């Protein structure tokens, strides 16, 4: 089982939304999505886990590795809506990972207009991203 992802570039940050199960089989794909975000945005990356069904220990390690990669590039990683079946426990050498209750809370933390989103944002996604979300662009 793998994941699908969508990356949206906002004015001063990016949102990497992940759907599916972040387990050992999906770590490579998640790492590729993080690389995509590194190459195409600036500022912190909010990893939106609203559509994530669950994650394994390997998936959680992939999150902490992504935080390290982003920190090396001078960017931060934040989480929104972590799965209810587990909490992230990063290693002691991991950069801080702010956790928001949901995506609107994370967006609100980065918006001067209390959550209003820019109209001219750019969106990339895997072909398997849920159909209800395909109208965003």
Select from 4, 21, 10, 12 the least CA-distant residue to 119.
10
Reported pTM: 0.83
Q: What is the pLDDT of residue 113?
A: 41
Q: State the pLDDT confidence band at 31, using cuts at 50, 70 and 90.
A: very high
Least Cα distance to 81 among 46, 115, 50, 60 occurs for 50
CATH number for the region 3-126 comes to: 3.30.750.24
Strand pairing report for 77-80 and 45-55: parallel
- State pLDDT tens for residues 60-95: 999 999 999 999 999 999 999 988 765 666 667 788
pLDDT of residue 108: 87
**Cβ(52)–Cβ(19) under 8 Å?**
yes
The answer to whether 7 touches 18, Cβ cutoff 8 Å, is no
Distance between CA atoms of residues 89 and 86, nearest Å:
9
**Chain mean pLDDT for the chain:** 83
The domain spans of the chain are: 3-126
């Amino acid at each position: 089982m793998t994941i699908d992802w969508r990356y949206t570039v906002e004015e001063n940050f990016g949102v990497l939304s992940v759907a599916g199960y972040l387990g050992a089989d999906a770590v490579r794909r998640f790492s590729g999505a993080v690389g995509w975000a590194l190459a195409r945005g600036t500022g912190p990356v909010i990893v939106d886990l609203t559509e994530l069904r669950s994650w394994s220990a390997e998936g959680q390690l992939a999150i902490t590795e992504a935080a390290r990669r982003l920190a090396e590039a001078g960017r931060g990683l934040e989480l929104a809506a972590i799965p209810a079946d587990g909490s992230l426990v990063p290693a002691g050498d991991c950069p801080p990972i702010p956790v928001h209750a949901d995506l609107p809370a994370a967006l609100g933390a980065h918006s001067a207009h209390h959550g209003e989103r820019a109209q001219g944002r750019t969106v990339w996604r895997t072909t398997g991203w849920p159909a209800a979300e395909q109208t965003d662009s």
